[in-house]
Chain A
Amino acid sequence: MAEISDSPSTSKSAEENTQTQTPESDLKTTRNTKPGVKRLIISVTVLFSFILGFPLLWKSIEIYRAPLPFDRIDAFSSQIESKPLSFPCHFQAIFIGFDFDFKVSHDDVGAAIARKMSDLSHGGGCGGCGGNYSVAVAVDRGDINAFDFGEKLRGSDEDADELVKSVVSEYGGGNAYSVVVVNEEGEVRSVVGKYRHAWIVGRVEEEEAVLHVAEVFVKVFVNGGDVEGSVRSEFMPVGADGRIVLSFSLLNADPRDWIYDWNFREIDETLLRPVIEALQPIANITVESQVLYHTPKSSFSYWDDKHGSHMFRTEDLPFFVNSNEWHLDTSVAAGGRSKVLQLVVYIPSAKECPLQLELPNGEISKTNGFISPMWGGVVVWNPQSCIKDFESMDPVRHTISPQDLLKLFEVLMGQLRQLLGLKSDNLYVGESGTSILLGSERGFTEWELDVLSRKHICFNLHSCATTLGSLSRLVQSLPRMIIMDEIGKQVKFSLEAAKFAQSNASIGIYNASAVSSRQSRSLAEDAFFHPSIMSISYYSFEHCFAIYSPFFLPVTMHVLLAALREWKRYKQENRKYLASKAKVKVS
């Protein structure tokens, strides 16, 4: 009886298990119908609409950028840096009273001078004449007697200058730098004229003459008499727009002691006008003047019984200028990026009169003044009498006499020459001796103007290359900055002016080259400091992210997730359908 009851329950459970297993396996592994694609199409369509809309969004936040010639800027910068600008300089040596025919030929003498010049130039720098020199040598044709010519050259230096000029013209000088060496009995004397020539008179040996000629060529004509031959680019006082404003100020330290005035209009018309005209290729110079009162200096002076005057030392110079009381910089005319050079004449008060500058070696300064590079210069002028008039209630008004004004302006012109990078005195001391440098009534001699032109051409082109390079890097580093057409034009014109300056420099036309280089630098500065550059940050990435992320980040996440899920499910269901079809084939 027990065996019969067990068998019916087992058979019932087996039947039920078989029935339930069949539909479960069907649902999990196979699918009878093809999967639908409606939801997949909806999700993918939304995703594609977002993808297609992205170019429209990108177009709406696009900004205008004028094309800039980056390649030309890079080429120009690398050219300026790698190959120094070379100016063709012609040199000519004229020997009078020498007997070269039986010893050496003219070419050998020229080669010797050129070799010595290469040794002296230390490789040269920007603004020089390059490293390769060629010197033309001429020997007198017997029509000039050395002794008679030497006698004439030892007379007045101005007359000698004109005489040497005519001799140089006879030997085909042109624009070459010339040195005339006269071998005669007497002490050796060397003078550099106010044109492009110099002369050496005296008992000169041949080797000594070669050294002397080479030194005059390199140290004076090429480097301008400056001991440092390289361009001090930080000491070029021309404004970025090519203008210099010379602001002359007469400071009365205490008008209760005395009041001094000057007749500056006459000085402006007689002395300064030739200087301005001479420097026209380098800078556009304007002049203005004022008289200020109650303007004491900041530093202190001490009384010196030995010299009978108040003294201030070189360590007091940084504190001499009283920026609080010396209102020098009120110049509406110097607008924009002009350069103002302050030339100050300081008249001390009664309790500091006379005021002298003591040099570090204990001597008294002859000029009684000093310069500050890129700012200007100060000259202390002491009145004739330091006795204050106590009887009169009103201080007496004086006008500086024309003679004193002339002396003052000699010192001021020397300071201006120093500010521009030249020597302020008239001596050059070299290895082979001392040379006298003649002055010009225009303040600058021909060869000095050549030196200034070369230096300014070099500095302007270098500054232009630096500025354009900075602009190029700035523009390329900020892809979201608007670049206006005006900037593109300025860059193009600047590059053209620079090319023109280089070609004129290689030909040797200094004036045109200086003007072109000034224009190129001015245009480069205008482009770099255009008001639209860096005025606002145009649609920076942070700005775009902050504006668009509150909406697009969550929505894009939804769209992507929806499309991914639909695609995943479609593949899964399709696999089931294919399995079902395979099973049908098998059965």
Chain B
Amino acid sequence: QQQQEEEFTEELLMKPLPDRKVLAHFHFQSEAPLAADESSFARHHHLFPKSISQLVQKYHIKAMELSFTQGRWNYERWGGFDSISSHNAKPPGVELWAVFDVPLHQVDASWKNLTHSLSGLFCASINFLESSTSYSDPEWAFQSALGSLRYGTLPREAVCTENLTPWLKLLPCRDKAGLSSLMDRPSIYKSFYHSQQLHLTMSTDPSDGSRSGIILEQTLTVVLQPNDQKAGMSHLSKTKIQPSWSLSSIFGRKISGRCVLAKLSNVYLHAERSLVNQLENLQKNTVKFAANDTGLEDFRRNAGFELSVTPERVHAELEKSSSILYEYPIKEYTDTEQFDLGLTWVHPIVWSSPHAPLYASRFLMGSGNERGAIAISLKSTEMTQGLVAAYNVEERCKLQVNVLQIVPWYVKVYYHTLQLLVDERPQALTDFVEIMRVSPSEDKVSPGVMELVLQFPCEMKSAVLSIEFDKGFLHIDEYPPDANQGFDIPSAIISFPDFHAGLQFSDKSQSKSPLLSKLQERSPVLSYTEVLLVPLTTPDFSMPYNVITITCTVFALYFGSLLNVLRRRVGEEERLLKNKDANKTVFFRRELAKLSAKLRGRPLELTLPCPSSSSSSSSFVSPKLILRVLLVAGIAVVWQYYSQ
């Protein structure tokens, strides 16, 4: 039989963004066929990374996605209705979901082992997702497979170069050759958004036409700010011109040679639909003045920008004035020639990226340390307005929205306080909620999960979901090291199942490119909201030790004093005092007798000892007591210091 080969492809998509930034999307895909006999599966490899296939075999992974993200995807400016914003826009920190091919009672054990293995592979604290308080099993958000899905996030995980290096180790050429040699670490980690992702799929049914095997997609999505070198020319025109860029100016290096192990090695430049519209409008104006007919056929030059390299192929969508994709195969270049794609703007253009049907954002309400509320705000965009116009004649259109919100257990959410405001008016939940699944949180066991399927009318302007919560108390050893920073609530996921992001290229531009296949894939539009930061009440962490020490000291002093008081003999002390007084009286009398003997009897001297003896007896009592008390206190203090 024909032995299937392992394949590797590398692709890079560059896309100018409306807010003067550039999106760079690296896409690497490795495929490994499943061997006929099961015994040698995941044991012999040629291109596919050995550790990944061993993970798949050991933990019976059916699908898995792991992302390391820093920064936040700007859905308003960078788009919310394309493949990249649905697949590669991820919440900050670490996000991991996995579907296992094991019986239901073994899914949790497989998840825990997987988190530990990934933690070692990627130099990250993914093992913290092992705890049952850190992951959940949503049912509808990812269209999961019958309860075998597990989902967890670590919003506070810092992402840095030590996460990129093991990710690069999985590539056959790593960062030695090919597109990955562009990954300049300072440029990548200075970016506004950085997300490296690992997506694993097992296709085990050959009946659907695709080959059975493991498909590993490694993507790195970066949003970079090119240097504004033409700031001096901005005063010439009304609007500021977009900054021009090239691969060398963005990444600091050029593509010198491709990865020779790659079956496909392409660079793409994507101009989205609104930009193409503006370019066409600009082209019409230019044609009126210059009457140049050959300008339309020149791919390098148009009315808006110039490309430094002529593209090999141009992919256009089926519809008119659709987005355009320029293709540059790196295979044509030898090792001595270096590929450096550059884009030079010649005219200021303003355009906008396509948006999801609704803007989704989330914020906290309320004040104080006891309770608050989480609000999810959905605002309509111009796309829904277009929907209203389209559907206005025929029938009343509905907009389905799926909401998944996972809240840690120490934020006690009261799901009965869920409220819905549509166009700023309170509404009954039953009018809009089709399906609701609520899994309340259990202290120290599981987080709270809420899944909603909502149906909104298309002409709706805004909707707000709000739910109240109490801020709980943690045990003292459950606080993180910087407890005063607050606690993170993971991003909520808003998905629109009726809308599918994806370009539709013409049939003639079909190719074997995995990136183009992914861009054309019809996938649900999906958005992540902000990560919320809830400040919980933090105790004084040194107070228990102070309380223990002070209480022990007070009890020790009290006990000692009480024992001493119980042992006192008041009568005996009084008798002792009287004896001393008598002795003093005798002494005084003897002296006086001698004096009277010498002076021959003066009766005035005999009366003086009486008041002096009484005053001396009163003075003898109080200093004794004071000295005794001070002595006991001093001894106790010395013992305290010694014991400390």
| A is bound by B | yes
Q: Is the CB of A20 within 8 A of B586?
A: yes
The answer to whether A265 and B260 touch (CB under 8 A), given A39-B566, A294-B177, is no
Any B CB within 8 A of the CB of A555? yes
Q: Contact between A256 and B335 (Cβ–Cβ < 8 Å)? A: yes
What string of 1s and 0s marks CB contacts (under 8 Å) between A193-235 and chain B?
Answer: 0000000000000000000000000000000000000000000
Binds A, one of B168-176, B226-234, B393-401: B168-176
- In whole Å, how far is B376's beta carbon from the nearest beta carbon of chain A? 40
Docked-complex contact B548 and A287, CB < 8 angstroms: no
| A9, A27, A290: most-surrounded residue (chain B CB, <10 A) | A290
The segment out of B13-21, B39-47, B446-454 that lies at the interface is B39-47
Report B-chain residues with C-beta under 8 Å of the C-beta of A46: 563
Residues of B within 8 A of A287 (CB): 43
Q: Which of B50-58, B139-147, B286-294, B314-322 contacts A (4 or more CB under 8 A)?
A: B50-58
- Within 8 Å by CB of A332, from B40, B51, B169, B590, lies B51
Cβ B55 vs Cβ A332 within 8 A = yes
The answer to whether B261 and A259 have CB atoms under 8 Å apart is yes
Quick one: which of A20-53 are within 8 Å of B by CB? 20, 24, 27, 39, 42-43, 46
Within 8 A of A (CB), among B18-53: 35, 40, 42-47, 49-51
B173 in contact with A289 (CB, 8 Å): no
A263 to B49, CA, bound (A): 17
Please name all residues of chain B whose beta carbon is closer than 8 Å to the beta carbon of A562 when the two chains form the complex.
563-564, 567
Contact indicator B45/A290 (Cβ below 8 Å): yes
Q: How many residues of B contact A (CB 8 A)?
A: 58
Q: Is the CB of A255 within 8 A of B260?
A: yes
Do B117 and A565 have beta carbons less than 8 Å apart? no
A261→B48 CA distance, assembly (Å) = 13
Q: Which residue of A lies closest to B49 (CB)?
A: A330
Task: Tell me the bound Cα distance from A96 to B640 in angstroms.
Answer: 95
Task: Please tell me if B416 contacts chain A, counting CB pairs below 8 Å.
Answer: no
Q: Which residue of B lies closest to A394 (CB)?
A: B260
| Residue B643 CB within 8 A of the other chain | yes
Q: Mark A283-298, 1 if CB is under 8 A from B, else 0.
A: 0001111111110000
Partner of B640, one of A20, A264, A554: A554
Asked if residues B560 and A554 are in contact (CB atoms below 8 Å), the reply is yes
Residue ID in chain A nearest B589 by CB atoms? A16
Least Cβ distance of B537 to chain A in Å?
27
User: In the complex, which residues of chain A have a beta carbon less than 8 angstroms from the beta carbon of B408?
Assistant: none
Among B42, B46, B639, point to the contact of A553 (Cβ < 8 A): B639
CB-CB contacts below 8 Å: B609-644 with A: 635-636, 639-640, 642-644
Given A259-B261, A294-B176, CB of A39 within 8 Å of CB of B556 = no
A557–B561 Cα distance when bound, in Å, is 12
Q: How far apart are B185's CB and chain A's nearest CB, in angstroms?
A: 16
Minimum Cβ distance to chain A for residue B196 (Å): 18
Asked whether B597 is an interface residue with its Cβ less than 8 Å from the other chain, the reply is yes
CB-based contact B117/A332 at 8 Å: yes
CB-based contact B174/A294 at 8 Å: yes
> B582 near A555 (CB under 8 angstroms)?
no
Complex Cα gap A558–B117 (Å): 58
Interface centre among B47, B121, B176, B257 (most CB of A within 10 A): B176
> Main SS of the interface on chain B?
helix
Q: How far is the CB of B30 from chain A (nearest CB, A)?
A: 13
Is there an interface contact between B43 and A550, defined as CB atoms closer than 8 Å? no
Decide yes or no whether A541 CB sits under 8 A from chain B.
no
Please, which residue of chain A has its CB at the minimum distance from the CB of B642?
A: A553
The interface residues of chain B lying within 8 Å CB-to-CB of A290 are 44-46, 50
Main DSSP-derived SS at the A contact region = helix
Asked whether, in the complex, the Cβ of A554 is within 8 Å of the Cβ of B567, the reply is no
Cβ proximity bits A312-353 to B, threshold 8 Å, 1 near / 0 not: 000000000000000100111100000000000000000000
Nearest CB in chain B to that of A40: its residue: B567
Checking A39, A255, A259, A550 against B552 with a beta-carbon cut-off of 8 angstroms, the contacting residue is A550
Residues of A within 8 A of B54 (CB): 288, 331-333
Q: Does B500 contact A (CB under 8 A)?
A: no
A566:B43 contact, CB within 8 angstroms: no
Cβ-defined contact, A558 with B559, below 8 A? yes
Contact A291/B556 with A393-B331, A394-B260 known, Cβ cut-off 8 Å:
no
Contact A550 B579 (CB under 8 A): no
Q: How far is the CB of B10 from chain A (nearest CB, A)?
A: 13
Q: Nearest A residue to B45 by beta-carbon distance?
A: A290
Interface residues of A in 101-133 (CB under 8 A from B): none
B560: chain A residues within 8 A (beta carbon) = 554-555, 557-558
B553 within 8 A of A: yes
| A532 at the binding interface (Cβ < 8 Å) | no
Q: Is A58 an interface residue (CB 8 A)?
A: no
Bound Cα distance A562, B260 (Å): 91
Whether a CB of chain B sits under 8 angstroms from the CB of A274 is no
Compute how far the CA of A284 lies from the CA of B334 in the bound complex, rounded to whole angstroms.
Answer: 48
Asked if A550 and B55 sit within 8 Å, CB to CB, the answer is no
* Shortest Cβ gap from B53 to chain A (Å): 9
How far is A282 from B552 in the complex, measured between Cα atoms in Å?
62
- B549 contacts A by Cβ under 8 Å: yes
Cα-based distance from A24 to B575 in the complex (angstroms):
12
Docked pose: A331 CA to B117 CA in angstroms: 11
- Taking a contact as CB atoms under 8 Å apart, the answer to whether B567 and A265 are in contact is no
Q: How far is the CA of A528 from the CA of B594 in the complex (A)?
A: 94
**In the complex, A549 Cα to B556 Cα: how many Å?**
11
**Nearest chain A CB to B552's CB is how many angstroms away?**
4
- On whether the beta carbons of A259 and B260 are closer than 8 Å, the reply is yes
Given A256-B257, A265-B44, A330 contacting B51 (CB threshold 8 A): yes
Q: Is residue A551 contacting chain B, with contact meaning CB distance below 8 A?
A: yes
Judged by a CB distance under 8 angstroms, whether A395 is at the interface is yes
User: Does the CB pair A550–B548 fall under 8 Å?
Assistant: yes
A13 in the interface, Cβ–Cβ < 8 Å?
Answer: yes
Q: Which residues of A contact B532 (CB under 8 A)?
A: none
- Partner pick for A256 among B43, B172, B177, CB 8 A cutoff: B177
Residue in A closest to B568 when the chains form the complex, CB atoms: A39
Contacts of B58 in A (CB 8 A): 332-333
Q: List 20 A-B contacts (CB under 8 A).
A: A9-B597, A12-B593, A20-B582, A39-B567, A39-B569, A43-B563, A43-B567, A256-B335, A265-B40, A265-B44, A287-B43, A289-B44, A291-B46, A330-B121, A394-B331, A550-B553, A554-B640, A555-B560, A558-B556, A565-B567
Top 4 A-B residue pairs of the complex, sorted by shortest distance between their CB atoms: A550-B552, A558-B560, A554-B556, A332-B54
Listed in ascending order, the chain A residues whose CB lies under 8 Å from chain B are 9, 12-13, 16, 20, 24, 27, 39, 42-43, 46, 255-256, 259, 261, 264-265, 268, 286-294, 327, 330-333, 393-395, 549-551, 553-555, 557-559, 562, 565-566
Beyond A268-B43, A550-B549, 4 additional pairs, beta carbon < 8 A? A12-B593, A20-B586, A288-B44, A553-B639
